[in-house]
């Protein structure tokens, strides 16, 4: 029988239960349908569900006859060990009416300023964690030393990420400056030292294997277009039929990250691929639609397409769709494309973001000769 291991975790400041098991379509369907609030975490590489008092009972009922659930780890002494380290789990505390009102005020202000939905959600969750941490003191009584204490007593012991810490600092700066106009010395708040991670890049043979794996024409076209144009997942799914200008050999990518539009050149090969796809599927509004006419193809379904392609191509690396975008940029650089053009093609605001690809370009690194070779 299939086996699932359940463990308690803290994900972005919230109590969750992670479910560990080898990839399985049937189990994933049971999780999606049986657990409201179930989510896939790219960072943890697993599914996770809300942590409630009857989570063990829910697990047993939902997977009965389908899988053996080992939920012993749910009752392990992780919480006690965290307390011994001085960890105070504020995510489980109920929000006071004052905190709810303040979070709503921040949300409305950010919506008015047209922040993206994801940014609004992450800022509100980050602010909620901080305000619960300093409770029962009021928000206006906080100072920069509270933030230092929050990092040392909550973020670090809880194993929360650099990005979460950065989000908390950003959210608090915005909240104290724009919402309650406090004398909080937000300018003195220090962000964590940045992580300098290299982009994950596939070689051309691996890309070819992945793009050739899907037998479904729509799946193959979607994956190929991400690599052919260096698109983000959301950019691909938001494409409309009118965004393809075949006469000018251009793809118009609209309202991307930072609310910017950009043009990406498309080759004859790409245009032919899109024409073949259009003849078969005849999409109505969106270039790539799901099973319901007029509805965008879902992000989760696209991730499943990639997973199946990786299995068929026998690639064991933890590849995500964004790896194809990284590979596009790196392969352009190795082919001699100027970094400034790559910046435009990717839609990067700063050239410093694009420069990370110089660190993974084989063309540059392979020119370096080790002194070992001369010994």
From CA 257, how far away is CA 16, in angstroms rounded? 29
DSSP 8-state assignment for residue 188 = G
Q: Are 322 and 233 in contact (CB under 8 A)?
A: yes
Q: Are 233 and 299 in contact (CB under 8 A)?
A: yes
309: nearest Cα among 172, 208, 201: 208
Q: Catalytic residue at 325? A: yes
Q: Considering 121, 218, 232, 308, which one is annotated as catalytic?
A: 232
125: nearest Cα among 89, 164, 96, 74: 164
Q: How far is CA 284 from CA 24, 130, 230, 266, in A?
A: 33, 46, 24, 22
Q: Who's near 46: CB < 8 A, 6+ residues apart?
A: 18, 19, 20, 40
Q: Considering 325, 326, 328, 331, which one is annotated as catalytic?
A: 325
Q: Considering 257, 293, 295, 363, which one is annotated as catalytic?
A: 257
Q: Catalytic residue at 257? A: yes
From CA 130, how far away is CA 171, in angstroms rounded? 10
Q: Catalytic residue at 297? A: no
Q: How far is CA 286 from CA 163, 218, 252, 269, 324, in A?
A: 33, 13, 13, 21, 22
Q: Considering 48, 233, 326, 348, which one is annotated as catalytic?
A: 348
Q: Are 106 and 123 in contact (CB under 8 A)?
A: yes
Q: Catalytic residue at 232? A: yes
Return the active site residues.
232, 257, 322, 325, 348, 357
């Amino acid at each position: 029988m299939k086996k699932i291991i359940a463990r308690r975790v803290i994900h972005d400041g919230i109590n969750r239960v992670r479910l560990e098991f080898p990839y399985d379509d049937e189990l994933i369907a049971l999780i999606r349908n049986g657990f409201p609030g179930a989510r896939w975490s790219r960072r943890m590489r697993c599914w996770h569900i809300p942590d409630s008092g009857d989570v063990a009972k829910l697990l047993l009922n939902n997977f009965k006859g389908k899988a053996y659930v080992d939920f012993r780890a749910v009752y392990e002494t992780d919480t006690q060990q965290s307390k011994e380290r001085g960890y105070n789990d504020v995510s489980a505390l109920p929000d006071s009416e004052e905190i709810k009102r303040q979070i709503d005020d921040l949300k409305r202000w950010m919506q008015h300023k047209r922040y993206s939905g994801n940014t609004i959600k992450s800022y509100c969750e980050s602010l909620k964690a901080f305000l619960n941490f300093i409770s029962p003191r009021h928000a206006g009584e906080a100072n920069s030393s509270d933030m230092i204490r929050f990092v040392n007593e909550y973020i670090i012991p809880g194993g929360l990420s650099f990005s979460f810490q950065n989000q908390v600092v950003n959210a608090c700066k915005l909240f104290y400056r724009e919402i309650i106009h406090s004398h909080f010395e937000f300018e003195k708040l220090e962000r964590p030292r940045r992580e300098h991670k290299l982009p994950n890049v596939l070689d051309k043979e691996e890309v070819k294997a992945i793009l050739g794996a899907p037998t479904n024409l729509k799946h193959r076209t979607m994956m190929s277009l991400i690599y052919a144009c260096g698109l983000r997942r959301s950019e691909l799914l938001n494409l409309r039929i009118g965004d393809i200008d075949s006469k000018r050999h251009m793809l118009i990518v609209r309202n991307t990250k930072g609310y910017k539009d950009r043009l990406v050149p498309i080759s004859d090969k790409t245009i032919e691929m899109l024409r073949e796809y259009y003849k078969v599927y005849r999409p109505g509004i969106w270039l790539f639609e799901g099973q319901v006419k007029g509805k965008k193809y879902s992000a989760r379904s696209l991730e499943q397409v990639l997973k199946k392609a990786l299995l068929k191509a026998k690639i064991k690396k933890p590849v995500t769709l964004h790896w194809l975008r990284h590979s596009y940029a790196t392969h352009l650089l190795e082919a001699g494309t100027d970094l400034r053009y790559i910046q435009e093609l990717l839609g990067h605001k700063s050239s410093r973001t694009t420069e990370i690809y110089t660190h993974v370009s084989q063309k540059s690194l392979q020119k370096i000769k080790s002194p070992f070779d001369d010994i």
